[in-house]
């Protein structure tokens, strides 16, 4: 019974690995095009951003559908954003720059788009390492506040994307629109909840 209820989650967990396996296959078959390092950057960066968008989408979906079992999916997508983001960072450090720290330091200082990538990654990293139930319990109210930074990470990632853009605007624009709608939804529900709270004591006083 428990296993059956967990099947969609397990299926999602395995499916999220497909882009990575696909990438490994392309590496093995030498199928990454004329600039394989850039292709690695792009594919891993894109997937990290896609999982970040999926993570943000869970709360609105949960609110609309009232389906309580979605928190595990949010956690799963967040961890995949972290995994693909870490591989994206490792590609930059190891494959692109051969761990030459002076080169890396100069490049980071001279490339503002990387600052936003680093900001997004630091947040995704902190959320990834504090995702467990144990951390949630230990951090208490701070946990919720910390995990709200996922919105800052998504905005930083979008700025990072736009800033380094060399051509096609269509894909980043699509992510920008998705993130804009997801953030607007959250702001709207926050405003409505606040108004409800403010109205409550008034109603009581009237009674
Ligand atoms: C979770 C955090 C991050 C996300 C979501 C992210 C996402 C992205 C995305 C979507 C792109 C554009 C891919 C495309 O053109 O389709 C990109 C490019 C890039 N990112 Fe990140 N990134 C993150 C963190 C970082 C960090 C920490 C670094 C390096 C320190 C970095 C270095 C780069 C570089 C060098 C490119 C340009 C690749 C090229 O076209 O040559 N990113 N990233």
pLDDT tens for each residue of 130-146: 999 999 999 999 999 99
pLDDT-based confidence at 204, cuts 50/70/90? low
Q: Is residue 23 part of a domain?
A: no
| Percent over 70 (pLDDT), the chain | 94
Q: Is residue 178 part of a domain?
A: yes
- If you measure from the C-alpha of residue 50 to the centroid of ligand 1, how many angstroms do you get, rounded to a whole number? 12
Q: Is residue 5 part of a domain?
A: no
Regarding the beta carbon of 164 and ligand 1, being less than 6 Å apart is answered yes
Whose C-alpha lies nearest to ligand 1, atom 9? 45
Q: Is residue 122 part of a domain?
A: yes
**Cβ partners under 8 Å of residue 179, min gap 6:** 53, 56, 154, 155, 158
Enclosing domain of residue 112: 34-206
pTM check: above 0.85: yes
Regarding the beta carbon of 53 and ligand 1, being less than 6 Å apart is answered no
Domains identified in the chain, total number: 1
Regarding the beta carbon of 42 and ligand 1, being less than 6 Å apart is answered yes
Q: Is residue 199 part of a domain?
A: yes
Whose C-alpha lies nearest to ligand 1, atom 29? 89
């Amino acid at each position: 019974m428990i296993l059956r209820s967990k099947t969609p989650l397990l299926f999602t967990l395995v499916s999220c690995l497909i882009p990575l396996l696909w990438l490994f296959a392309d590496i093995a078959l030498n199928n990454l095009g004329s600039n394989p390092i850039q292709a690695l950057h792009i594919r891993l960066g894109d997937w990290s951003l896609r999982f970040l968008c999926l993570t943000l989408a869970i709360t609105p979906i949960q609110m609309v559908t009232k389906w309580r079992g979605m928190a595990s999916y949010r956690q799963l997508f967040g961890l995949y954003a972290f995994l693909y983001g870490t591989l994206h960072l490792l590609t930059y450090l190891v494959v692109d720059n051969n761990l030459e720290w002076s080169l890396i330091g100069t490049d980071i200082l001279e490339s503002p788009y990387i600052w936003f990538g680093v900001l997004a990654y630091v947040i995704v990293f902190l959320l990834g390492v504090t995702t467990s139930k144990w951390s949630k319990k230990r951090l208490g109210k701070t946990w919720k506040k910390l995990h709200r930074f996922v919105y800052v990470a998504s905005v930083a990632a979008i700025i990072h994307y736009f800033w380094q853009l060399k051509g096609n605007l269509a894909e980043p624009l699509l992510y920008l629109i998705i993130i804009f709608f997801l953030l607007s939804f959250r702001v709207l529900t926050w405003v409505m909840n606040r108004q409800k709270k403010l109205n409550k004591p008034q109603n009581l006083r009237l009674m």
